[in-house]
Structure 1
Amino acid sequence: MQGSANLNIMIKAARKAGRALVKDFREVENLQVSVKGAGDFVSRADIGAEQIIRDELMGARPTYGWLGEESGATEGADPTRRWIVDPLDGTTNFLHGLPHWAVSIALEHKGEIVSGVVYDPAKDEMFWAEKGAGAWMNESRLRVSGRRSMIECIFATGVPFAGKQTLPATLQDLARLMPACAGVRRWGAAALDLAYVAAGRYDGYWERELNAWDIAAGLLLVREAGGLTGPVREGYDILGKGAVIAANDQIFASFAKLIRDA
């Protein structure tokens, strides 16, 4: 893979954490007899993976800031750069033995995501992008789909659960979208949903109530693959509000209008 020194550091960290998570994933099936035990185990796996990534990234770039799902925010000596990390996106899938989860690492520079990695260890698919250099999966260049008709498109989302406030809005979205498209998928890993839009596997994706570490790397993947991204509510900051719409450039306007017409 050809990339910057920072990107190579990110890829190395993602692979190292991925190897540890794959070993833990093999143990999950043995823990299903005890929900509490499995949940505790996965929490330890999540925290352990973040520590691996933090050691790799901060060891190489000790002046950068940090924002991680498990460890929170740390300001760096260099205030212009920070790592944004989700060590295990798709934790519920992991807990249930479903092989659809990922490591997500982004580098932010002066408020803009400039490098991103989403690694799916179960399938050994490394999605990566740098600003201005395109998006890739392993050695293959990525391009969003070219579909122009909504009725031919497949979309992805996350359906709110466990008391999240945006369930009514999402159900309304589905009521408007389902008759107008070829299908909606809910696979439970936001980082991979965005990576799949970049790869042309999905034509579009939207979701609310996300965190910056869920989507930072994936947003860059979509943009560098020729897609468009925007907030669910126009004028809002995507990372700050955690509500995103992403799609290929052909159907973004139609798709965004449908989601925003609540």
Structure 2
Amino acid sequence: MIDAYRNLDDAVVATEAARAGADVVRSLFGQRLTRVEKGAGDFATSADIEAERAILGVIRAARPEDAVLGEEGGQHGSAEAERLWLVDPLCGTVNYTVGSMLVAVNVALTGRVAAVADPFTGEVFSTDGETAWVQQHDSAEVRLTPSADSRLVDVNLDPPFPGAPMFRAVDLLAHPAFVERFRPRVVSTTLALAWVAAGKRAAYVTDGGDLSRSVHFAAGIALCRAAGCVVTDIDGTPVGQAGHGLVVAADGATHDLLMSVIHRDGTRARQA
């Protein structure tokens, strides 16, 4: 099995790792789970930890010289390793613990390759950095095609809001210009990023700092870029250390509309 994993290309490794984590998440759903408090209202469960262990098993077998940064276990491997995998084994832990199936398993190799698995639909959204596709169980791969037709925009409402008072994603929900054109949704997991790439959502907006190397967001960002979405920070600049937050839209027109609302709010905040 180890030799078989080593013969896989990076995109397949990401997909197999995400599937391994999703299998654990699905198998433990609805069971009584040990809760690990992280502080400031954040916590993990034994499902998060077991899913991360399964993901690490695949990556270690396939790429033993690579480093891994896990949401729960931190850094694994050499700090000098040229390649780093970013792992969020259960994005949407709060949803999961209350019986909601809106969760994702995120695996990304920094730079390009990524996979986002939905444990309950069986869908795995993947990219090799050039194209993006979705596969369900053993079905054929289908190319991801973004679309703004739904007019649905997912907004991340989780605190803290580091952009306040200049910008808070939560403020979009009550903005007249936003309500006139879009309908908000709150999934509370980066599964929503995969949905933008797949045409199930028109856009996704979140506050925050540099998300390009975040275990939560790196996989979704890579997926959306490869699918052809417009991906920027909330100032409209490339996602990276100099920026903050994230605006991902199915097309340029949708992105422009969202940015006009965000900038209008920011101008009011500066003048207040």
Q: Shorter chain as normaliser: what TM range?
A: 0.7 to 0.9
What is the distance in 1 between the residues matched to 2:61 and 2:179?
A: 51
What is the distance in 2 between the residues matched to 1:102 and 1:146?
A: 22
What is the distance in 1 between the residues matched to 2:69 and 2:244?
A: 15
2:126 to 104, 111, 128: 128
What is the distance in 1 between the residues matched to 2:151 and 2:257?
A: 12
What is the distance in 1 between the residues matched to 2:20 and 2:242?
A: 29
2:19 to 15, 18, 29: 15
What is the distance in 2 between the residues matched to 1:86 and 1:136?
A: 19
What is the distance in 1 between the residues matched to 2:232 and 2:77?
A: 27
Give the CA RMSD over aligned residues: 2.6
TM-superposed CA distance for 1:227, in Å, is 0.9
Matched, 1:188 2:188: yes
What is the distance in 2 between the residues matched to 1:127 and 1:19?
A: 15
| 2:24–2:51 Cα contact (<8 Å) kept | yes
Change in CA separation of 1:84 and 1:42 when aligned onto 2, cut-off 3 Å: closer
Match of 1:157 in 2: 155
Match of 1:61 in 2: 63
Identity of aligned residues (%): 27
- TM-score under structure 2 length normalisation: 0.79
Instruction: Name the SS of the counterpart of 1:132 in structure 2.
Output: coil
Match of 1:34 in 2: none
Q: Kindly provide the amino acid, as one letter, of the partner of residue 102 in structure 1.
A: A
What is the distance in 2 between the residues matched to 1:46 and 1:146?
A: 33
What is the distance in 1 between the residues matched to 2:207 and 2:162?
A: 10
| 2:155–2:184 Cα contact (<8 Å) kept | yes
Residues 202-260 of structure 1 show CA distances to partners (whole Å, capped at 9, x for unaligned) of 00111013751111111121122221100113447447866110001242222223223
Match of 1:220 in 2: 222
* Unaligned runs of at least 5 residues, structure 1: 32-36
What is the distance in 2 between the residues matched to 1:50 and 1:164?
A: 27
Residues 68-90 of structure 1 show CA distances to partners (whole Å, capped at 9, x for unaligned) of 11122346376431101100001
Aligned ranges for residues 1-262 of structure 1 at < 5 Å?
5-27=9-31, 31=32, 39-40=35-36, 43-74=45-76, 76=78, 79-108=81-110, 112=111, 114-138=112-136, 139-147=141-149, 153-161=151-159, 169-176=168-175, 177-190=177-190, 192-209=191-208, 212-235=214-237, 237-238=239-240, 243-250=245-252, 251-261=254-264, 262=266
TM-superposed CA distance for 1:20, in Å, is 1.5
Q: Kindly provide the amino acid, as one letter, of the partner of residue 126 in structure 1.
A: V
Change in CA separation of 1:213 and 1:181 when aligned onto 2, cut-off 3 Å: same
